[in-house]
Amino acid sequence: MSAAKIFGTLPSGESVERVELSSGRLRAEVLTYGAVLRSLEVSGVNVVLGLDTVEDYLTRSRYFGAVVGRYGNRIAQGRFTLDGTEYRLPVNNGVNSLHGGTHGFDSTVWTIEDQTDSSVTLTLTSPDGDQGYPGTLTASVTYTLENDAIRLDYATETDAPTVVNLTNHTYFNLAGGGDVRDHVVQMDAEHYLPVDDTKIPTGELAPVKGTPFDFTTPHAVGERYDGAYDHCFVLTGGARVTAGDLTMECTTTEPGVQFYTGSMLDGVATPYGPFAGLCLETQHFPDSPNQPQFPSTVLRPGERRTSTTTYRFI
Protein backbone atom coordinates (compact mmCIF):
# COMPACT_ATOMS: atom_id res chain seq x y z
CA MET A 1 0.00 0.00 0.00
CA SER A 2 1.43 3.37 -1.03
CA ALA A 3 1.08 6.23 1.42
CA ALA A 4 -1.01 9.28 0.54
CA LYS A 5 1.01 12.01 -1.12
CA ILE A 6 0.66 15.78 -0.92
CA PHE A 7 -1.14 17.09 -3.99
CA GLY A 8 -1.00 20.74 -2.97
CA THR A 9 -1.85 23.33 -0.33
CA LEU A 10 -4.93 25.51 0.05
CA PRO A 11 -4.61 29.26 0.74
CA SER A 12 -5.59 28.43 4.34
CA GLY A 13 -2.45 26.32 4.63
CA GLU A 14 -4.43 23.08 4.74
CA SER A 15 -2.84 20.23 2.79
CA VAL A 16 -4.65 18.31 0.06
CA GLU A 17 -3.59 14.67 -0.19
CA ARG A 18 -3.64 12.31 -3.16
CA VAL A 19 -4.31 8.58 -2.82
CA GLU A 20 -3.35 6.11 -5.55
CA LEU A 21 -5.45 2.95 -5.99
CA SER A 22 -4.98 -0.03 -8.28
CA SER A 23 -6.64 -3.34 -9.08
CA GLY A 24 -6.19 -5.36 -12.25
CA ARG A 25 -6.36 -3.05 -15.26
CA LEU A 26 -7.77 -0.14 -13.21
CA ARG A 27 -5.77 2.71 -11.70
CA ALA A 28 -7.28 5.66 -9.85
CA GLU A 29 -6.30 8.81 -7.98
CA VAL A 30 -8.53 10.27 -5.27
CA LEU A 31 -8.01 13.66 -3.61
CA THR A 32 -9.00 14.62 -0.09
CA TYR A 33 -10.22 17.95 -1.47
CA GLY A 34 -13.87 17.37 -2.37
CA ALA A 35 -13.31 13.59 -2.24
CA VAL A 36 -12.46 14.10 -5.92
CA LEU A 37 -11.91 11.18 -8.28
CA ARG A 38 -9.09 12.90 -10.16
CA SER A 39 -8.25 10.10 -12.59
CA LEU A 40 -9.45 6.64 -13.51
CA GLU A 41 -7.39 4.64 -15.97
CA VAL A 42 -8.77 1.60 -17.74
CA SER A 43 -5.93 -0.33 -19.40
CA GLY A 44 -3.84 2.84 -19.39
CA VAL A 45 -6.51 5.21 -20.75
CA ASN A 46 -7.80 7.92 -18.39
CA VAL A 47 -11.59 7.94 -18.80
CA VAL A 48 -12.47 10.86 -16.48
CA LEU A 49 -11.84 14.61 -16.57
CA GLY A 50 -9.43 15.90 -13.93
CA LEU A 51 -7.34 18.99 -13.18
CA ASP A 52 -3.62 19.48 -12.62
CA THR A 53 -3.36 21.62 -9.48
CA VAL A 54 -5.15 22.64 -6.30
CA GLU A 55 -5.46 26.14 -7.78
CA ASP A 56 -7.31 24.67 -10.76
CA TYR A 57 -9.78 22.94 -8.47
CA LEU A 58 -10.32 26.21 -6.60
CA THR A 59 -10.85 28.35 -9.71
CA ARG A 60 -11.52 26.21 -12.79
CA SER A 61 -13.55 23.24 -11.60
CA ARG A 62 -17.16 22.50 -12.49
CA TYR A 63 -17.38 19.86 -9.77
CA PHE A 64 -14.93 17.65 -11.70
CA GLY A 65 -14.93 14.26 -9.94
CA ALA A 66 -16.23 15.65 -6.65
CA VAL A 67 -18.66 14.26 -4.10
CA VAL A 68 -21.33 16.95 -3.86
CA GLY A 69 -23.56 17.63 -0.87
CA ARG A 70 -25.12 18.17 1.54
CA TYR A 71 -27.73 18.12 -1.25
CA GLY A 72 -26.64 17.19 -4.77
CA ASN A 73 -28.57 18.89 -7.57
CA ARG A 74 -31.02 21.80 -7.15
CA ILE A 75 -33.35 23.02 -4.41
CA ALA A 76 -35.87 25.59 -5.63
CA GLN A 77 -35.42 29.15 -4.45
CA GLY A 78 -32.80 27.95 -1.95
CA ARG A 79 -35.38 27.05 0.67
CA PHE A 80 -37.30 24.10 2.08
CA THR A 81 -39.51 23.37 5.10
CA LEU A 82 -38.85 20.46 7.46
CA ASP A 83 -41.02 19.67 10.49
CA GLY A 84 -42.63 23.10 10.22
CA THR A 85 -39.41 25.13 10.09
CA GLU A 86 -38.23 26.87 6.93
CA TYR A 87 -34.54 26.71 6.11
CA ARG A 88 -32.74 29.11 3.75
CA LEU A 89 -29.77 28.00 1.67
CA PRO A 90 -27.24 29.96 -0.40
CA VAL A 91 -28.55 30.68 -3.89
CA ASN A 92 -25.74 29.89 -6.33
CA ASN A 93 -27.48 28.76 -9.53
CA GLY A 94 -29.78 31.49 -10.74
CA VAL A 95 -32.60 31.59 -8.21
CA ASN A 96 -31.83 28.11 -6.86
CA SER A 97 -29.34 26.38 -4.57
CA LEU A 98 -27.10 23.88 -6.36
CA HIS A 99 -24.95 21.03 -5.02
CA GLY A 100 -25.02 22.11 -1.38
CA GLY A 101 -24.44 25.85 -1.82
CA THR A 102 -21.47 28.14 -2.20
CA HIS A 103 -19.19 26.01 0.00
CA GLY A 104 -20.45 22.46 -0.32
CA PHE A 105 -18.76 19.12 0.22
CA ASP A 106 -16.98 19.51 -3.13
CA SER A 107 -14.87 22.35 -1.69
CA THR A 108 -14.21 20.78 1.71
CA VAL A 109 -11.13 18.76 2.70
CA TRP A 110 -12.16 15.26 3.72
CA THR A 111 -10.18 13.02 6.12
CA ILE A 112 -8.64 9.70 5.13
CA GLU A 113 -10.24 7.21 7.51
CA ASP A 114 -8.95 3.97 5.98
CA GLN A 115 -6.85 2.93 3.00
CA THR A 116 -5.70 -0.22 1.20
CA ASP A 117 -4.08 -0.80 -2.19
CA SER A 118 -7.49 -0.85 -3.85
CA SER A 119 -9.76 1.27 -1.62
CA VAL A 120 -9.94 4.46 0.41
CA THR A 121 -12.55 5.73 2.85
CA LEU A 122 -12.93 9.49 3.31
CA THR A 123 -15.01 11.17 6.00
CA LEU A 124 -16.19 14.64 6.95
CA THR A 125 -18.37 16.33 9.55
CA SER A 126 -20.73 19.08 8.41
CA PRO A 127 -21.75 21.20 11.43
CA ASP A 128 -25.29 22.28 12.27
CA GLY A 129 -26.18 25.30 10.12
CA ASP A 130 -23.55 24.54 7.48
CA GLN A 131 -24.80 26.29 4.29
CA GLY A 132 -28.15 26.68 6.08
CA TYR A 133 -28.79 22.96 6.61
CA PRO A 134 -29.94 21.75 10.05
CA GLY A 135 -28.17 19.11 12.11
CA THR A 136 -24.57 17.99 12.43
CA LEU A 137 -24.07 15.50 9.61
CA THR A 138 -21.29 12.92 9.43
CA ALA A 139 -20.59 11.55 5.96
CA SER A 140 -18.30 8.98 4.43
CA VAL A 141 -17.52 7.76 0.93
CA THR A 142 -15.46 4.69 0.08
CA TYR A 143 -13.92 4.23 -3.36
CA THR A 144 -13.11 0.59 -4.13
CA LEU A 145 -11.54 -0.87 -7.26
CA GLU A 146 -12.56 -4.48 -7.88
CA ASN A 147 -13.17 -6.80 -10.81
CA ASP A 148 -12.95 -4.15 -13.56
CA ALA A 149 -15.21 -1.83 -11.56
CA ILE A 150 -15.07 1.18 -9.28
CA ARG A 151 -17.62 1.08 -6.47
CA LEU A 152 -18.71 4.09 -4.41
CA ASP A 153 -20.28 3.43 -1.01
CA TYR A 154 -21.83 6.39 0.81
CA ALA A 155 -23.04 6.66 4.42
CA THR A 156 -24.52 9.55 6.43
CA GLU A 157 -25.81 10.09 9.97
CA THR A 158 -27.22 13.15 11.73
CA ASP A 159 -27.97 14.41 15.24
CA ALA A 160 -31.07 16.37 14.13
CA PRO A 161 -33.56 16.04 11.26
CA THR A 162 -32.07 17.18 7.96
CA VAL A 163 -32.10 16.43 4.24
CA VAL A 164 -29.23 14.78 2.40
CA ASN A 165 -28.54 13.70 -1.17
CA LEU A 166 -24.92 12.79 -1.90
CA THR A 167 -23.68 12.04 -5.40
CA ASN A 168 -20.48 12.00 -7.40
CA HIS A 169 -19.96 14.49 -10.22
CA THR A 170 -17.35 12.70 -12.33
CA TYR A 171 -17.28 13.54 -16.03
CA PHE A 172 -16.59 10.42 -18.10
CA ASN A 173 -15.03 10.27 -21.55
CA LEU A 174 -14.49 6.64 -22.47
CA ALA A 175 -12.37 7.55 -25.49
CA GLY A 176 -9.89 9.39 -23.29
CA GLY A 177 -10.52 12.67 -25.13
CA GLY A 178 -12.58 14.40 -27.80
CA ASP A 179 -16.34 14.92 -27.90
CA VAL A 180 -18.77 12.60 -26.06
CA ARG A 181 -21.66 13.24 -28.45
CA ASP A 182 -20.68 10.07 -30.30
CA HIS A 183 -20.85 8.00 -27.09
CA VAL A 184 -23.82 5.62 -27.19
CA VAL A 185 -26.11 5.57 -24.14
CA GLN A 186 -28.77 3.13 -22.97
CA MET A 187 -30.74 3.52 -19.74
CA ASP A 188 -33.32 1.39 -17.97
CA ALA A 189 -35.58 4.38 -17.45
CA GLU A 190 -39.14 4.65 -18.74
CA HIS A 191 -39.70 8.05 -17.11
CA TYR A 192 -37.78 11.28 -16.69
CA LEU A 193 -38.36 14.51 -14.76
CA PRO A 194 -39.37 17.50 -16.94
CA VAL A 195 -38.05 20.80 -15.59
CA ASP A 196 -38.97 24.47 -15.70
CA ASP A 197 -36.72 27.17 -17.15
CA THR A 198 -34.59 27.16 -13.96
CA LYS A 199 -34.11 23.36 -14.16
CA ILE A 200 -36.42 22.60 -11.22
CA PRO A 201 -38.65 19.52 -11.75
CA THR A 202 -42.28 20.29 -12.47
CA GLY A 203 -43.27 17.31 -10.30
CA GLU A 204 -44.29 15.12 -13.21
CA LEU A 205 -42.74 11.74 -13.96
CA ALA A 206 -43.10 11.87 -17.72
CA PRO A 207 -42.89 8.86 -20.05
CA VAL A 208 -39.78 8.86 -22.23
CA LYS A 209 -41.50 7.00 -25.07
CA GLY A 210 -41.67 9.07 -28.22
CA THR A 211 -39.36 11.77 -26.86
CA PRO A 212 -35.64 12.59 -27.19
CA PHE A 213 -35.32 11.26 -23.63
CA ASP A 214 -35.97 7.66 -24.62
CA PHE A 215 -32.73 5.76 -24.02
CA THR A 216 -34.45 2.43 -23.42
CA THR A 217 -32.74 1.49 -26.69
CA PRO A 218 -29.21 2.70 -27.50
CA HIS A 219 -28.76 6.21 -28.93
CA ALA A 220 -25.75 8.42 -29.49
CA VAL A 221 -25.63 11.43 -27.14
CA GLY A 222 -25.67 13.90 -30.05
CA GLU A 223 -28.36 12.14 -32.04
CA ARG A 224 -31.24 14.18 -30.54
CA TYR A 225 -31.93 17.23 -28.34
CA ASP A 226 -28.67 18.78 -29.64
CA GLY A 227 -26.98 16.40 -27.20
CA ALA A 228 -27.49 18.95 -24.40
CA TYR A 229 -28.98 16.78 -21.65
CA ASP A 230 -29.14 17.85 -18.01
CA HIS A 231 -32.09 15.82 -16.74
CA CYS A 232 -32.93 13.32 -14.04
CA PHE A 233 -34.09 9.90 -15.19
CA VAL A 234 -36.14 7.50 -13.04
CA LEU A 235 -34.18 4.25 -13.00
CA THR A 236 -35.65 0.77 -13.06
CA GLY A 237 -32.24 -0.80 -13.61
CA GLY A 238 -28.87 0.45 -14.78
CA ALA A 239 -27.30 2.59 -17.49
CA ARG A 240 -24.68 1.80 -20.12
CA VAL A 241 -22.31 4.00 -22.10
CA THR A 242 -20.23 2.77 -25.03
CA ALA A 243 -17.41 4.40 -26.97
CA GLY A 244 -15.44 2.25 -29.41
CA ASP A 245 -14.61 -1.07 -27.78
CA LEU A 246 -15.21 0.10 -24.19
CA THR A 247 -18.54 -0.07 -22.36
CA MET A 248 -19.25 1.30 -18.88
CA GLU A 249 -22.18 -0.17 -16.95
CA CYS A 250 -23.59 1.90 -14.09
CA THR A 251 -25.72 0.30 -11.36
CA THR A 252 -26.99 1.98 -8.22
CA THR A 253 -29.27 1.68 -5.22
CA GLU A 254 -30.47 5.25 -5.84
CA PRO A 255 -33.83 5.94 -7.54
CA GLY A 256 -32.51 8.29 -10.21
CA VAL A 257 -29.58 9.48 -12.27
CA GLN A 258 -28.84 12.99 -13.47
CA PHE A 259 -27.61 12.62 -17.04
CA TYR A 260 -25.49 15.69 -17.88
CA THR A 261 -23.50 15.90 -21.10
CA GLY A 262 -21.22 18.83 -20.25
CA SER A 263 -22.88 21.23 -22.68
CA MET A 264 -22.22 24.17 -20.33
CA LEU A 265 -18.46 23.62 -20.15
CA ASP A 266 -16.92 26.53 -22.03
CA GLY A 267 -13.24 25.81 -22.54
CA VAL A 268 -12.36 29.19 -20.99
CA ALA A 269 -13.33 29.09 -17.31
CA THR A 270 -12.37 25.40 -17.36
CA PRO A 271 -9.70 23.56 -19.37
CA TYR A 272 -12.47 21.58 -21.10
CA GLY A 273 -14.89 22.64 -23.81
CA PRO A 274 -18.55 21.68 -24.31
CA PHE A 275 -19.27 17.95 -24.43
CA ALA A 276 -15.80 16.98 -23.20
CA GLY A 277 -17.37 14.55 -20.73
CA LEU A 278 -20.72 13.22 -19.53
CA CYS A 279 -21.98 12.62 -15.99
CA LEU A 280 -24.13 9.84 -14.58
CA GLU A 281 -24.87 11.36 -11.15
CA THR A 282 -26.78 8.67 -9.26
CA GLN A 283 -29.01 10.31 -6.67
CA HIS A 284 -32.44 11.08 -5.27
CA PHE A 285 -34.50 13.50 -7.31
CA PRO A 286 -33.79 17.24 -7.50
CA ASP A 287 -35.86 19.46 -5.19
CA SER A 288 -37.26 16.48 -3.28
CA PRO A 289 -37.53 18.47 -0.01
CA ASN A 290 -40.15 20.63 -1.74
CA GLN A 291 -41.91 17.83 -3.63
CA PRO A 292 -43.44 15.32 -1.20
CA GLN A 293 -44.50 12.99 -4.02
CA PHE A 294 -40.81 12.24 -4.67
CA PRO A 295 -38.87 9.66 -2.60
CA SER A 296 -37.92 11.28 0.71
CA THR A 297 -34.43 12.64 1.36
CA VAL A 298 -35.13 13.33 5.05
CA LEU A 299 -32.59 11.83 7.47
CA ARG A 300 -33.37 11.63 11.18
CA PRO A 301 -31.31 10.89 14.29
CA GLY A 302 -30.77 7.16 14.81
CA GLU A 303 -30.93 6.44 11.08
CA ARG A 304 -27.97 5.62 8.85
CA ARG A 305 -28.45 6.41 5.18
CA THR A 306 -26.35 4.30 2.83
CA SER A 307 -26.14 3.93 -0.93
CA THR A 308 -23.92 2.20 -3.45
CA THR A 309 -23.06 3.01 -7.06
CA THR A 310 -20.83 0.88 -9.29
CA TYR A 311 -19.25 1.74 -12.64
CA ARG A 312 -18.08 -1.45 -14.39
CA PHE A 313 -15.92 -1.50 -17.54
CA ILE A 314 -16.29 -4.27 -20.11
Q: Any binding-site annotation on 74?
A: yes
Q: Any binding-site annotation on 169?
A: yes
Q: Any binding-site annotation on 73?
A: yes
Q: Any binding-site annotation on 143?
A: no
Q: Any binding-site annotation on 312?
A: no
Altogether, the residues listed in the chain come to a count of 314
CA diameter of the chain? 54
Which is catalytic among the residues 169, 191, 231, 284? 169
Task: Establish whether 103 is a catalytic residue.
Answer: no
Q: Any binding-site annotation on 171?
A: yes
Task: Establish whether 169 is a catalytic residue.
Answer: yes
Which is catalytic among the residues 17, 157, 254, 281? 281
Based on its alpha-carbon atoms, the radius of gyration of the chain, rounded to whole angstroms, reads 18
Binding residues for beta-D-galactose: 73-74, 169-171, 230
Which residues are catalytically annotated?
169, 281
